[in-house]
């Protein structure tokens, strides 16, 4: 048994972590664009990265160095350092060497970047910026803001986990992400810190397991970025560990941040849980649920608050999973509009379903009526703001 | 050797075909919404249908009757007769029996529908409407307009094909489609008529072959409809046939209509040919090219006339095909912006690329530099109009 308490402090909530964000001129108007996370002792670190074949330079660098322990992560926004070839990796070496020379105590530093693809890293600005870091600062809000791109708000979460024994550990995290969000392995930037004494050899597996139902279950636009990264840093400062409690807390942290990312989907006004049950198996439930999050016709109907269940049915039918109109049931919130071949969509039901869709978050339940497979994927609507943001992203 | 001449007349251009469109009240303001195509003699007919598992009632009806010859096709817009169960098929029987009773000479009639999914067919209005048909009318424009939904303009094409012998045959067609367009088998409604003496047992194969590089190579929004249908009617009235000439003409007809559909993509202002070469094989070229047509980030960059080649690269990387940043080359029109690991994107190149994107149609060429596979897929931009159209489609 264990209890989770929601606490403040983001990535600085666990013992021994420091973080801050500064402005080094990558974003206009003096906005923060460069952040660090530091631990006062060496952390174990594991990460999961994008499935995109063109992985960005920071990911290539991380893998080349096979980083397994660190005490310093540098993160910049506005430039992805992707499609920048070997120069991109050399630039990271230059920047991180400069950080080491400036601060001395840094070991096995890693870098993470997000922003425009295909532009060389502005390393001079970044090196000048990192010289202004106060490594003893605990400003998680500033760090969380500095890593934002098109995000409307920063995304942080932290928990204190109390075990039955009275012992406790903490876990905290920050994430960024609003566009280029797709349900493929690791879909944004996320940095998780913990002072739990997590066995290093279990970290990667736990990250992957938790990603399945969290970051891999969300979609804003179906595009998989070159930079997606989830890092888990564990410094063991609490000396406390309980596998079940830690897994639960980690999943909770990742789930909350995943939902924050969907709710902040570019131009999004609604977060919708597509709950698919009765599929032939779990794999097919995943396929159908993710197809629903990615259908433009479904997303625009959500935006229009139009209970156009025909588009939901059509998307399931097109997804390639086993399905049958005579066993399918579709409900908006608690309002069933189609049940096993029968259309229950009179004026009154339509009004009720439209009422459900006025909410900023609601579930759409599709029971395929065939097997036991189920999965919930989280998506958002697509409106004029998405077009506006992405038609002029670079300018 | 043979020569193609572009002619007027759409589906009525070949000998022995009649068509018209009338208003029966499904669309507002007296717009035409009900069409027929009739042949004065029995035609061979073959069709390819949507890959959506929830096929609409007209498709179920066509398959149940295993229709191979016909002289009458009835088409309505505004209602898809999809997800309407056995009632949907019974409604078609009722409507087509009424057509037979009214006109006598109709044999093995087929129906095709397009519009909102999940609403019972308004059969009374349709039966009253078909009573007003003049079966001897040759009004291809009226028929082509009657089958439109969100289309901005009607889509017709016709050719006279002259053989070296001096003999000739004709082929004509009309299509509708603007949304729910995805590169999966058969992606809109299309009706092709010919007076060539095509062997019935070759028609289905030819349709499928020609669809590969035409209707299966276009995407507006990545959604596959429940109703997609391509029908080829052949009445042999010319008594003339040449396999090579006919295949060429059929492919040309389908290609022109496919491009018309993309150019009329909901809210689209640009038609872009994504020309992928150098893929490991043709299959991977198809995957990469279609991924480019479906990426929201690519589509919004097209809309913004922003030569954001990083999104092109990222989409290829995420598509799952074999690719390498050091062999990839990307060009907008003739302007190369990234070549085998080198970014060629200075201010001047960017200006030139942006200039290319101002056109209403242009190619984007991606050479993966790995193998011999190539494919061209056709897509369009996604702008505010798409959102507007689809957020209020039903209302």
State pLDDT tens for residues A82-117: 888 899 999 999 999 999 999 999 999 999 998 888
The vertex-B188 CA angle with A345 and A321, nearest 5°, equals: 60
* CB-closest option in B226, B309, B315 to A314: B226
- Give the residue from A357, A390, A392, A393 with the most B CB atoms within 10 Å of its CB, the best one to mutate: A390
Neighbouring CB atoms inside 10 A of A168's CB total 18
Residue found under tokens 């397991």: A209
Contact call for B223 and A315, based on CB within 8 A? yes
- B224 pLDDT band, cuts 50/70/90, is low
Do B247 and B106 sit in the same domain of this protein? yes
Using the 8-state DSSP alphabet, how is residue B79 labeled? B
> Kind of pairing, strands A271-279 and A361-367?
parallel
Q: Are residues B142 and B80 in the same domain?
A: yes
Q: Which one, of B36, B12, B11, lies nearest residue B24 by Cα?
A: B36
Q: CA-CA distance, A257 to A157, in Å (whole number)?
A: 7
Tokens (6 digits) for B120: 């019972």
Least confident range from B6-20, B218-232, B250-264, B307-321: namely B218-232
- pLDDT at position B200 over 90: yes
Compute the residue count for chain A. 395
B339, B321 in Cβ contact below 8 A?
A: no
Say whether pLDDT at B149 is over 60: yes
Domain of B99, CATH number, reads 3.60.70.12
Domain of A161 in residue numbering reads as 2-263
List the single best residue of B314, B330, B370 to mutate versus A (max A Cβ within 10 A). B314
CB-closest option in B117, B342, B388 to A310: B117
The per-residue pLDDT for range B348-370, each reduced to its tens digit, is: 999 999 999 999 889 999 999 99
Please tell me the least confidently modeled range out of A348-362, B63-77, B218-232: B218-232
- From the list A297, A326, A393, the residue facing B221 with the nearest CB is A297
Q: What average pLDDT does this structure show over A140-163?
A: 91
Query: In this predicted structure, what is the pLDDT of residue A382?
Result: 85
Query: CA-to-CA distance for A338 and A316, rounded, in angstroms?
Result: 14
- Give me the CATH number covering residue B299: 3.10.20.340
Most confidently predicted of A36-40, A205-209, B145-149, B258-262 = A36-40
Residue reference for tokens 């120069």: A87
How much is the average pLDDT of A48-64?
A: 88
Residue A185 pLDDT: 31
Between residues A342 and B126, which one has the greater pLDDT?
B126
Q: Are residues B257 and B278 in the same domain?
A: no
Whether ipTM > 0.95 holds is no
Q: How far away is chain A from the Cα of B327, in angstroms, using its nearest Cα?
A: 11
In order of A254, B21, B244, the CA distances from B195 in angstroms are: 63, 22, 16
Each residue of B326-352: pLDDT tens digit? 999 999 998 999 999 898 988 899 999
Burial of A70 (0-12, 13-18, 19+ CB in 10 A): buried
Judge: A117–B225 Cβ closer than 8 Å, yes or no.
no
Number of domains in chain A: 2
| Chain A positions in Cβ-Cβ contact with residue B52 (cut-off 8 Å) | 314, 317-318
Q: What is the DSSP letter of A217?
A: G
Closest Cβ opposite residue A382 in set B53, B323, B387: B387
Subunit contact B118:A342, Cβ cutoff 8 A: no
Number of CB atoms found within 10 A of residue A353's CB = 25
Asked whether the beta carbons of residue B314 and residue A225 sit closer than 8 angstroms, the reply is yes
Q: Which two tokens stand for residue B90?
A: 């019974």
Instruction: Please give the pLDDT value at position A187.
Output: 40
Closest-CA distance of chain B to residue A55, Å = 8
> Which parts of chain B fold into alpha helices (H)?
57-64, 85-103, 123-130, 140-146, 200-212, 243-263, 282-294, 296-303, 309-318, 347-357, 384-391
| Nearest CA-CA distance, residue A87 and chain B, Å | 10
> Do A17 and A76 reside in the same domain of the chain?
yes
Residue in the block written with tokens 């995420």: B318
DSSP A173-202: EEEE-SSS--SSS--SEEEEEE-S---HHH
Asked if B391's CB is within 8 angstroms of A300's CB, the reply is yes
DSSP state of A332: E
Collect all residues with Cβ–Cβ distance below 8 Å to A66 and sequence separation of at least 6. none
**What is the model's pLDDT at position B144?**
95
Residues B293 and B256 in one domain: no
Q: Are residues B224 and B283 in the same domain?
A: no
CB A228 within 8 A of CB A49: yes
The pLDDT assigned to A94 comes to 98
Whole-number Å distance between alpha carbons of B188 and B168 = 29
Answer whether A337's CB lies under 8 Å from A143's CB: no
Q: Give the contacts of A110 (CB within 8 A, at least 6 positions apart).
A: A45, A58, A61, A62, A65, A67, A70, A72, A73, A74, A231
Nearest CB to A223: which of B315, B338, B345?
Answer: B315
**Taking CB atoms and an 8 Å cutoff, what residues of chain A touch B313?**
54, 82-83, 117-118, 226
Give me the active site residues of A, please.
187
Residues of A in contact with B183 (CB under 8 A): none
CA pair distance B76, B149, nearest whole angstrom: 10
Task: Collect all residues with Cβ–Cβ distance below 8 Å to B376 and sequence separation of at least 6.
Answer: B213, B217, B273, B274, B275, B276, B289
Do residues B223 and A295 touch, judged by C-beta distance below 8 A?
A: yes
Sign of the four-CA dihedral B141, B147, B149, B155: negative
**Same domain for B81 and B116?**
yes
Question: Does the beta-carbon distance from B53 to A382 stay under 8 Å?
Answer: no
Q: Judge whether A360 and A242 are in contact, CB under 8 Å.
A: no
- The reply to whether B277 and B194 lie within a common domain is no
Q: Which of A51, A179, A311, A357 to mutate to test binding with chain B, by most B CBs within 10 Å of its CB?
A: A311
- All residues of chain B having their beta carbon less than 8 Å from the beta carbon of residue A296 are 221-223, 296, 382, 386, 390
Contacts of A265 in chain B (CB under 8 A): none
How buried is B384 (Cβ within 10 angstroms: 0-12 exposed, 13-18 middle, 19+ buried)? middle
Residues A156-168: pLDDT tens digits? 999 999 999 999 9
- Return d(Cα B136, Cα A222) in angstroms, integer: 50
% of chain A exceeding 90 in pLDDT: 60
Cβ B223–A394 below 8 Å, yes or no? no
Task: State which of A263, A293, A320 marks the end of a domain.
Answer: A263
- Contact flag A338-B52 (C-beta cutoff 8 Å): no
The reply to whether residue A54 touches residue B224, judged by beta carbons under 8 angstroms, is no
Q: Which residues of B touch A357 (CB under 8 A)?
A: none
Q: Mind telling me the catalytic residues of B?
A: 187
Average pLDDT, chain B: 89
Domain final residue, candidates B263, B289, B311: B263
Residues of A in contact with B393 (CB under 8 A): 301, 304, 306, 308
Q: Do A254 and A372 sit in the same domain of this protein?
A: no
Other beta carbons within 10 angstroms of residue A383's beta carbon come to 23
Question: What is the spatial distance between Cα A74 and Cα A125, in angstroms, rounded to a whole number?
Answer: 14
CA A13 to chain centre: 19
Average of per-residue pLDDT across A235-254: 92
Dist CA A138 CA A135 (whole Å): 8
Specify the range with the lowest mean pLDDT, choosing from A170-179, A182-191, A212-221.
Answer: A182-191
| Torsion sign, CA atoms B148, B152, B154, B156 | negative
Report the residue from A184, A313, A387 with minimal CB separation from B382: A387
More confident residue, B218 or B113: B113
- Can you tell me the distance from the alpha carbon of A182 to that of B384, in angstroms, rounded to the nearest whole number? 22
Chain B nearest-CA distance from A360, in A, is 16
8 A C-beta contact, residue A33 and residue A112: no
Residue in A311, A343, A387 closest to B303 by CB:
A387
The predicted model gives A252-276 an average pLDDT of 85
* pLDDT of B186 over the 50 cut: no
Both A176 and A316 in one domain: the answer is no
B42 and B83 part of one domain: yes
Are residues B329 and B200 part of one domain? no
Higher confidence at residue B57 or residue B269?
B57
Whether the per-residue pLDDT at A209 is higher than 80: the answer is: yes
Q: Give the chain A residue whose CA is nearest to the CA of B303.
A: A391
The answer on pLDDT for B204 being more than 70 is: yes
Angle in degrees, 0-180, between the axes of helices A200-213 and A243-263, rounded to the nearest 10: 40
Last-in-domain residue among A263, A285, A309: A263
Highest mean pLDDT among A206-210, B150-154, B184-188, B259-263: A206-210
The C-alpha angle with vertex B225 and arms to B219 and B226, in degrees rounded to 5, equals: 160
Pick the residue of B323, B390, B392 with the most A CBs within 10 A to test the interface with A by mutation. B390
Interhelix angle for B309-318 vs B296-303, to 10°?
160
Q: What's the pLDDT at B210? A: 87
| CA dihedral of A52, A55, A59, A64, whole degrees rounded to 10 | 120
């Amino acid at each position: 048994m264990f209890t989770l308490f929601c606490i403040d402090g983001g990535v600085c909530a666990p013992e021994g972590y420091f973080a801050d964000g500064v402005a080094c001129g990558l974003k206009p108007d003096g906005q923060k664009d460069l952040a660090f996370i530091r631990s006062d002792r060496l952390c174990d670190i594991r990460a999961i990265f994008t499935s995109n074949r063109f992985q960005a330079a920071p990911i290539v660098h991380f893998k080349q160095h096979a980083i397994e322990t660190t005490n310093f992560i540098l993160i910049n926004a506005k430039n992805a350092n992707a499609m920048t070839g070997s120069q991109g990796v050399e630039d990271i070496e230059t920047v991180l060497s400069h950080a080491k020379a400036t601060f001395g105590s840094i070991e096995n530093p890693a870098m993470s970047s997000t922003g425009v693809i295909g532009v060389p890293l502005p390393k001079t600005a970044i090196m000048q910026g990192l010289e202004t870091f106060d490594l003893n600062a605990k400003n998680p809000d500033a760090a969380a803001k500095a890593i934002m791109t098109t995000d409307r708000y920063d995304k942080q979460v932290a928990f204190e986990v109390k075990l039955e024994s009275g012992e406790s550990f903490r876990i905290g995290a920050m994430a960024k992400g609003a566009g280029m969000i797709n349900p493929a392995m690791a879909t944004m930037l996320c940095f998780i810190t913990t002072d739990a004494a997590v066995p290093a050899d279990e970290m990667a597996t736990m990250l992957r397991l938790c990603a399945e139902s969290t970051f891999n279950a969300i979609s804003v636009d179906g595009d998989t970025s070159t930079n997606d990264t989830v890092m888990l840093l564990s410094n063991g400062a609490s000396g406390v560990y309980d596998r079940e409690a830690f897994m639960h807390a980690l999943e909770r942290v990742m789930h909350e941040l995943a939902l924050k990312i969907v709710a902040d989907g570019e131009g999004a006004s609604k977060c919708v849980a597509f709950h698919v049950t009765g599929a032939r198996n779990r794999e097919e439930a995943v396929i159908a649920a993710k197809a629903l999050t990615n259908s433009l016709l479904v997303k625009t109907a959500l935006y229009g608050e139009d209970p156009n269940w025909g588009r939901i049915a059509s998307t399931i039918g097109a997804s390639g999973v086993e399905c049958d109109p005579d066993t399918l049931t579709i409900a908006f919130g608690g309002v069933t509009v189609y049940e096993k071949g029968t259309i229950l969509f009179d004026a009154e039901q339509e009004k009720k379903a439209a009422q459900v869709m006025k909410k900023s978050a609601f579930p759409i339940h599709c029971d395929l009526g065939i097997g036991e497979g189920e999965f919930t994927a989280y998506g958002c609507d697509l409106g004029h703001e998405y077009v506006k943001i992405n038609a002029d992203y670079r300018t």
